Structure 1
Amino acid sequence: MVRQKSARPDQTRRLPLVVSALGITLTAGASLPAASAADTAHHTKNGNHAAARQVKPRQHAAPKGRVSSEDEVVTVSSSRQAFRFSKAQHEANSSTHISADTLLNRGVFDVKGLQRVAPNVTIQSMNGTGTTNFFIRGIGFNDFTQNNMSSVMTYLDDVAFPLNTMMSGQMFDVSTVDVTPGPVGFTHGMADSGGEVSIHTNDPTPDWHGGVSEDIASYARSRTDLFISGPIAKNLSFRIAGQTVHGGGWQYDPQNHTHLGNANDGSLRAKLRWTPDAHTTITLTGHWTQDDDQVVVGRPALGLVASQPIPSLGYQQAEWSLRPQFARLIGRSSSLMPSEHNTLWGADLNMSHDFGKVTLSSISAYETERVGEYTDQDATSLSTGDTYRNIVANVFSQEVRLHNSSPSDRLQWDVGAFYNRTRMLQNYYFDFTDYLPQRGYLSETAFRSTQQSISEYGHVSYRLPWNVTVFGGLNHTLDQRALVGLSTQHFGINNLQFNNESTLSAQVSGVLGVQWQATKGTLLYFKTSKGYKPGGFTANNTVSQAQLAPFKPETVLTFEAGFKSDLIPGRLRLNAAAFYDDYHDQQVVGTFLVPNYGPLSQIINAPKSEIWGFETSIEAHPLPHVYLTQNLGWERGTYQIFDNIDRGQTNAYFTKTGVWKGIYDSFAGVDSGIPKLTLNGEADYRRDIFRRYNVEGGVDWMYRDSQAITPGGVGVYRLPTYFLLGAHITFRPKNGPWSVTAYASNILNRQYAETAGNASTTYFYIPGPPRFIGGRMSLTY
């Protein structure tokens, strides 16, 4: 940990932990540097950052060199430590750890924004909807239907969220976020092939605290955050936090003169923590979100029907329409705009007890979602791909974990088991009335899906002489999935019934590695790991039994070497890692062609592919008051064995002849289309002024390389590169309860596309927001 001069007595005070959505970090207990508050909740093990997240250390005397998280204190002052997450510098992984301050300065208020603060990360909404797809180091999964497990698992306070839509509205009152690449599941949770995103929210405090923040920006956008935390009785405390967001719709439809994209959502979270004795912690959490946000409508880039040319629109313009017949079919008002109508809620019980030598923990969780979503996916006023979907889903999970209590022991170990069960009912409605002559009707596809899995895991590490540690872990997972009662009704034409499908898989994954603490501030490591993700099904617009054929599980063998170094303590930190992924049966979105109907997306397996690259993270404090951060990621993916329909050639043939004919091609040696270069960083200037006040200002930036939207995609089938620039300045008293911030995002007002998609006859881009200028006022006590 970096040594710093003590702050003057008149600059310090001791306060309980409050890491609010406003980005203020205050902690009470024993003394630590203020900027290390996030470290205290970040005790980890070799090779996996989340090894001990679920367990609260004993409250009695902590081992030498370690501070118990239940007794820790932070001295809050005008002096700040240059670099955070000091403990993570001694862990054999390349996780990115993100503080609440960083999230606030970069304007990250949802999971999609995390790609602006971590290298080699892509997080995009599917066709502009509430379904979010995660990719880390090129490993991820596009799944509009949510029938299947993501290649990147998401966690909220150690609870696994296998359905990514359930994460909507959860990025408030956040303490830290960890983004971990590579195979996971050896010390906690679910096994996965691509990594995990873990969000940690603030816990109840033993003393009374509260806060409120009001954020107002361009296009009448407002965001309000609040929290209150304190004791109820001896050893019993609570925390209630909430957020509401409105406005911000920056799109405009010149045909019907409507604004598009306004937010309208609210979320609440309540935590109750009971510590009946010094060895036991029980936390009960409940949350609720109502998401009625309008969705951003795509801008058409390619139309396949010559008689229906795509419109020419300005960057902030979009077209959409809802036919009264379709509104009656879905049971919604004819004035409905492209939007979500989602209710998400859940609860979890986290218990841990330290028996002295070992600690036992348990997490029981239940999550549910009710989704009603209307999207105009042809991105025109025609009815060639209007879509509405209902989803009713629930997830139950149970995890039990046992590990040794003392982190000072040479031998560290974890064993545990995880169970997950998901039940889902979906209805998809489509309006193809203007898609002539191939369709020209309304349709509905309905189905149920079931899933359950159980996994057992174990992880050990042993510290050898000469500061060398070896570690290894195993995970065995049994996964069963089924698609039941699927039918498709083409109203007025036919009603298709399909056979049930099921898939069962069992796999063993693992990790093996070594790390060397070469100097006090330099760590070198090497590890190899095997990741596993179960198979599943494609099901939405289904017209053929062959579309429902299960795709196989994917596995990836990863090799990673890296180092972490505080080259100049308090001045320069450099972390870097290189990786190679040997990918088998990679799950990708391919094409299924139905004669006289058209191409449909289908998830298939690419038998063999590879990904390699590197990433670096630099933190520097070169001059007084100046703080710099730079993340750089470079990756390259290539298919080695993969045959499928070439969308570009197939679409070109249809445009020329009016006939759908599948043109197959080999993609061996073809680039898989992941963004090769990603850059993001921040430059801050912080100093005290007028003796009693502090000012902090800075700029941040983000660059993303081009990205293919179909296998081997070029030209219109590829998202262009883009560069974004933002800025912020905050004024606050050094020891006062308030702060005032002005900020701007996309200062250069760049026109860019965040993601892309296609529906029936149209390929479209989902545009990113234009320049936003805003201000924020916050008050805490």
Structure 2
Amino acid sequence: MSRALILGASSFALLSTPAFAQDSGQATENSSDQPAGTGSYRPGEIVVTAQFREQKLQDTPLAITAVDSALLEARSQDDVQAVAQQAPSVTLREQGGAYGASMGASIRGIGQFDFNPAYEPGVGMYIDDVYYPTLTGANFDLLDLERVEVLRGPQGTLTGRNSIGGAIKLFSKKPEYETSAFAEASYGTRDRLELRAGMNFPITQNLYARLSGVHKEQDGYVDQVDYGCANPDNPEGIAPTIGNDGTGSTCVLDKLGGQNYSGLRGAIRWEPSSDIDLMVIADYQNSDRTSAAEVQLVGPDNFDCGRFCTYTNWFLPAAGDAGAYYTSNRNKFNGWGISGHADIQLSDNVQLQSITAYREYNNKWGTDDDFSPNPAVAAGGINDLDFWFFSQELRVNATLTDWADVTIGGFYSDQRSTYWTQQDIRYFGPEPLQFIGNDPVNADSKAAFGTVILKPTYGLTLTGGIRYTEEHKDYTFVRRNLQYEQAPIGSGIEALDGLKSVYDGDRVDWRISADYRFSPAVLAYVTVSTGFKGGGVTARPFLPTHATEGDFGPETVTAYEAGLKTNLFDRRVQLNLAGFYNDYKDIQLPLSDCSAYGGGPCAVRANAGDGEIYGFEAELNAEPVDGLMIDGSVSLLGSKYTFIADAVGTSVQDDDPIVSPEVQFSAGIQYEVDLGDTGSITPRIDISHRGREFHGHALDVVSTDYEYYKAYTLANARLTYRNADRDLSVALELTNLFDKYYTTSRFDSVYNFARTAYTQVGRPREWRLSIRKEF
């Protein structure tokens, strides 16, 4: 950790040096004026709406990473997960194959990584101010976006429940009156093909539309190999499922980690007058790809296929009530949503905003939990998750005087999930535990909120906010035999059929903040705020008492933060600093001892821990000379548990970190070389570092080395040519430039039964050539 701290600090210092060498004077112009230079993006000038009103990033007293479309393009970032590489204290991770098309998220060590609808996210995800309430389907493609805002720290009064760690907000480009269009085509490693296009056009003088679409496909990078085919004389006697020509070339069944995604977005906007702005946005997305790129981490040596190879087969032989069958290595996601946005200026000082939204999706996937070809230890399942969600939000923004602004509003949401699953648990006892679940999960939430912003004297702003939330969730358990005719017999699980687990709760969150502008170049702020992640119910009970008594309340945080935002050296440098301390209470943890819930195997979740999280973050954006852009970030985090319930057992221990990695940093630099009438050429390089990340103790019996994912540093490079009119660009990019081998997630839940565990591996070095034309 000390080496990483030194490296991170040194990199940040090096990035800062060129900018400070330019000018030692203080900026004297107002911070809202246009900055110097001619660069293509200006993070300090991005207008954000984190406080429900338009403010420049450097005028907003919150820890925010804001990235506009130009910087997204410069960094070769086309999905929301990629943005996390440059945002301090942020983890966005596409989950392994056992969790479907889901993405885990945490900010400052607080988040959630289980897709099950019984559990709530810990980071709020928003698209055009519409809340996205699940981890499933959350790795959004950044299609036709205006900007991304990453709000760090609890947003309990602003965005509400489940933003205990923070919030990530995506804003698409709005339709405008001007006619414009773009088209982009890319080709790259493993037959990567990507097509993007969009157009903006007026329908009438006050009515305009915007349409955009994307399709991307790419072969996977982990070979799924037929074990019997590649090892015809294997000691287990496993027969091949495909022919073998003696060379092994025909033994590859599939390629894991591939892409096959299509998405459409459309918006229509009506402005009948300067006081009324109405917009409807609709989107559709479809993905049908192979499962995540995972390989064996622990298991028999003869089942170790290699760094980018696996022998897993998604096959279960006949056992119990089940005949032999394949669970499928496909991951299929299909979803759509529509939202209506009304922005009405009721008077010079009063604005009404209404946001109405509906979304639904379906995700189907299979799992091979033992991740091996061994039929003697097979375990897996089939999953089919249906979901729909409705929400309505109203806000009124009012300017009471020239020194007082107020926002009041209300929010309502209703969501339904139906989680169909066929579970084949062969490690439960002498007989396999096999059942079909078809569990309906209902949840709704109501909230009322208000924020007051006061400016009692020049340079000083005081902000106070409060939010009251009520939430309800009920989960009905369906447990039937594999023929779906009657409740299964044995193991006590038949008693779960028809049981309903219910959670009801409410919560008040608040925020108090003060910021002071010492000069046009320097803004300092302090804030105290609270947030919570919603309560819920135990999703995977083994006994009726686990279901009926296994509900749990919200986990909460009280956060203390101080920060500094600067526009230095004639606004060529934006340097933002933040330090924070989180008092983290009622942490939702899995139990290993269910004595208080009737005994038996235990998968109950409860409010079973308290802790502290603290840290420092810095972000830099600089243009020391025209055309040279430098950006960087660093986060240093620490944490400790102050209480862990005895029922948690050894899965979480007193000296375990709550938050990891403790060190993250990133740096990027680009320089646009002017070629006169020929155009320009811009080389860019980015690096990002993640320190070691704590996983858990499940594999301690093998080696304590498996407690952590190893630290890694990635580098990306991009070379872009633009013509003189800047409407045509050609870019060559390399990701994972030094071909670093690293792992991002792990599944080890069946190790005690199968003696196997597997891990998701990151993408190897890849190249892509892109051509983009704007009209």
Fold conserved (TM > 0.5)?
Answer: yes
Shift of 1:302: 3.1
Q: Deviations over 1:552-581 (max 9, x none)?
A: 211100000010112222432211000000
Shift of 1:110: 2.0
* DSSP 3-state at the match of 2:443: strand
Is 1:451 equivalent to 2:443 in the alignment? Answer: yes
Letter in 1 for 2:525: Y
Structure 1: tracts of 5 or more residues without a match: 8-32, 54-85, 647-662
Is 1:344 equivalent to 2:335 in the alignment? Answer: yes
Q: Deviations over 1:228-267 (max 9, x none)?
A: 1111112000011111111231110232412222211211
Please give the alpha-carbon distance, in whole angstroms, between the structure 1 residues aligned to 2:202 and 2:536. Answer: 46
Correspondence for 1:532:
532
Please give the alpha-carbon distance, in whole angstroms, between the structure 2 residues aligned to 1:683 and 1:636. Answer: 29
The answer to whether the 8 Å contact 2:387/2:418 transfers is yes
What is the aligned counterpart of 2:266 among 270, 273, 290?
270
What is the aligned counterpart of 1:429 among 422, 426, 438?
422
Please give the alpha-carbon distance, in whole angstroms, between the structure 2 residues aligned to 1:315 and 1:251. Answer: 8
Aligned-residue identity in percent: 21
Correspondence for 1:729:
719
Letter in 2 for 1:496: E
Is 1:88 equivalent to 2:57 in the alignment? Answer: yes
* DSSP 3-state at the match of 2:70: helix
When the two structures are superposed, what TM-score results if normalisation uses the length of structure 2?
Answer: 0.84
Q: Deviations over 1:277-298 (max 9, x none)?
A: 1100110111111111222242
Compared CA separation, residues 667 and 437, structure 1 to 2 (3 A)? closer
When the two structures are superposed, what TM-score results if normalisation uses the length of structure 1?
Answer: 0.83
Please give the alpha-carbon distance, in whole angstroms, between the structure 2 residues aligned to 1:228 and 1:579. Answer: 43
* DSSP 3-state at the match of 1:165: coil
Is 1:555 equivalent to 2:586 in the alignment? Answer: no
Correspondence for 2:87:
118
Letter in 2 for 1:768: G
Please give the alpha-carbon distance, in whole angstroms, between the structure 2 residues aligned to 1:177 and 1:554. Answer: 27
| 1:313-712 equivalence runs, <5 A | 313-323=305-315, 337-356=328-347, 357-382=349-374, 384-404=378-398, 409-432=402-425, 435=427, 438-440=430-432, 442-487=434-479, 489=481, 493-494=489-490, 496-498=494-496, 499-540=499-540, 542=542, 545-546=545-546, 549-591=550-592, 601-643=603-645, 664=650, 667-710=653-696
* DSSP 3-state at the match of 1:293: strand
Correspondence for 2:766:
772
Please give the alpha-carbon distance, in whole angstroms, between the structure 1 residues aligned to 2:173 and 2:729. Answer: 20
Letter in 2 for 1:137: R
| 1:27-66 equivalence runs, <5 A | 35=41, 39=45, 41-42=47-48, 44=49, 49-52=50-53
The answer to whether the 8 Å contact 1:108/1:114 transfers is yes
Q: Which has the higher contact order (CA 8 A, sep 6+)?
A: 2
Compared CA separation, residues 130 and 666, structure 1 to 2 (3 A)? closer
Compared CA separation, residues 601 and 682, structure 1 to 2 (3 A)? farther
Shift of 1:144: 2.7
Shift of 1:168: 4.3
Shift of 1:755: 1.7
Please give the alpha-carbon distance, in whole angstroms, between the structure 2 residues aligned to 1:642 and 1:778. Answer: 54
Letter in 2 for 1:693: G
Q: Deviations over 1:303-362 (max 9, x none)?
A: 5xxxx66722321112321337799x999x978752221210111111111012200111
* DSSP 3-state at the match of 1:487: coil
* DSSP 3-state at the match of 2:478: strand
* DSSP 3-state at the match of 2:672: strand
The answer to whether the 8 Å contact 2:438/2:478 transfers is yes
Please give the alpha-carbon distance, in whole angstroms, between the structure 2 residues aligned to 1:295 and 1:616. Answer: 37
Q: Tell me how many residue pairs correspond in the alignment.
A: 695
Deviates more, 1:436-445 or 1:244-253: 436-445
Compared CA separation, residues 324 and 3, structure 1 to 2 (3 A)? closer
Structure 2: tracts of 5 or more residues without a match: 1-31, 227-250
| 1:190-201 equivalence runs, <5 A | 190=161, 192-201=163-172
Correspondence for 1:217:
188
The answer to whether the 8 Å contact 1:644/1:666 transfers is no
Compared CA separation, residues 261 and 486, structure 1 to 2 (3 A)? same
Please give the alpha-carbon distance, in whole angstroms, between the structure 2 residues aligned to 1:220 and 1:337. Answer: 23
Shift of 1:451: 0.6
Correspondence for 1:716:
706
Correspondence for 2:121:
150
Please give the alpha-carbon distance, in whole angstroms, between the structure 2 residues aligned to 1:666 and 1:188. Answer: 30
Is 1:745 equivalent to 2:735 in the alignment? Answer: yes
Please give the alpha-carbon distance, in whole angstroms, between the structure 2 residues aligned to 1:711 and 1:351. Answer: 51
Compared CA separation, residues 432 and 669, structure 1 to 2 (3 A)? closer
Please give the alpha-carbon distance, in whole angstroms, between the structure 2 residues aligned to 1:708 and 1:665. Answer: 12
* DSSP 3-state at the match of 1:107: coil
Please give the alpha-carbon distance, in whole angstroms, between the structure 2 residues aligned to 1:692 and 1:172. Answer: 30
Compared CA separation, residues 730 and 188, structure 1 to 2 (3 A)? same
Letter in 2 for 1:348: S
Shift of 1:377: 3.1
Compared CA separation, residues 111 and 146, structure 1 to 2 (3 A)? farther
The answer to whether the 8 Å contact 1:432/1:439 transfers is no
Please give the alpha-carbon distance, in whole angstroms, between the structure 2 residues aligned to 1:108 and 1:326. Answer: 45
Shift of 1:541: 7.0
Compared CA separation, residues 604 and 183, structure 1 to 2 (3 A)? same
Deviates more, 1:745-754 or 1:203-212: 203-212
Is 1:230 equivalent to 2:201 in the alignment? Answer: yes
| CA RMSD between the two structures | 3.0
The answer to whether the 8 Å contact 1:185/1:457 transfers is no
What is the aligned counterpart of 2:283 among 279, 284, 287?
287
Shift of 1:405: 5.6
The answer to whether the 8 Å contact 1:694/1:731 transfers is yes
The answer to whether the 8 Å contact 1:472/1:513 transfers is yes
Compared CA separation, residues 311 and 381, structure 1 to 2 (3 A)? same
Please give the alpha-carbon distance, in whole angstroms, between the structure 2 residues aligned to 1:592 and 1:378. Answer: 24
Please give the alpha-carbon distance, in whole angstroms, between the structure 1 residues aligned to 2:746 and 2:266. Answer: 36
Deviates more, 1:268-277 or 1:255-264: 255-264
Compared CA separation, residues 606 and 426, structure 1 to 2 (3 A)? same
The answer to whether the 8 Å contact 1:640/1:667 transfers is no
Deviates more, 1:492-501 or 1:521-530: 492-501
Letter in 1 for 2:181: G
Shift of 1:505: 0.8
Correspondence for 2:149:
178
Correspondence for 2:24:
none
The answer to whether the 8 Å contact 1:471/1:512 transfers is yes
* DSSP 3-state at the match of 2:220: coil
Shift of 1:167: 3.1
Compared CA separation, residues 524 and 37, structure 1 to 2 (3 A)? closer
The answer to whether the 8 Å contact 2:409/2:450 transfers is yes
Please give the alpha-carbon distance, in whole angstroms, between the structure 1 residues aligned to 2:677 and 2:588. Answer: 58
Shift of 1:373: 1.4
The answer to whether the 8 Å contact 1:169/1:289 transfers is no
Shift of 1:737: 2.0
* DSSP 3-state at the match of 1:486: coil
Q: Deviations over 1:414-452 (max 9, x none)?
A: 00000011111101223445x586554643333111111
* DSSP 3-state at the match of 1:219: helix
Shift of 1:108: 2.3
Compared CA separation, residues 466 and 233, structure 1 to 2 (3 A)? closer
Shift of 1:135: 0.3
Please give the alpha-carbon distance, in whole angstroms, between the structure 2 residues aligned to 1:221 and 1:589. Answer: 40
Please give the alpha-carbon distance, in whole angstroms, between the structure 2 residues aligned to 1:122 and 1:576. Answer: 19
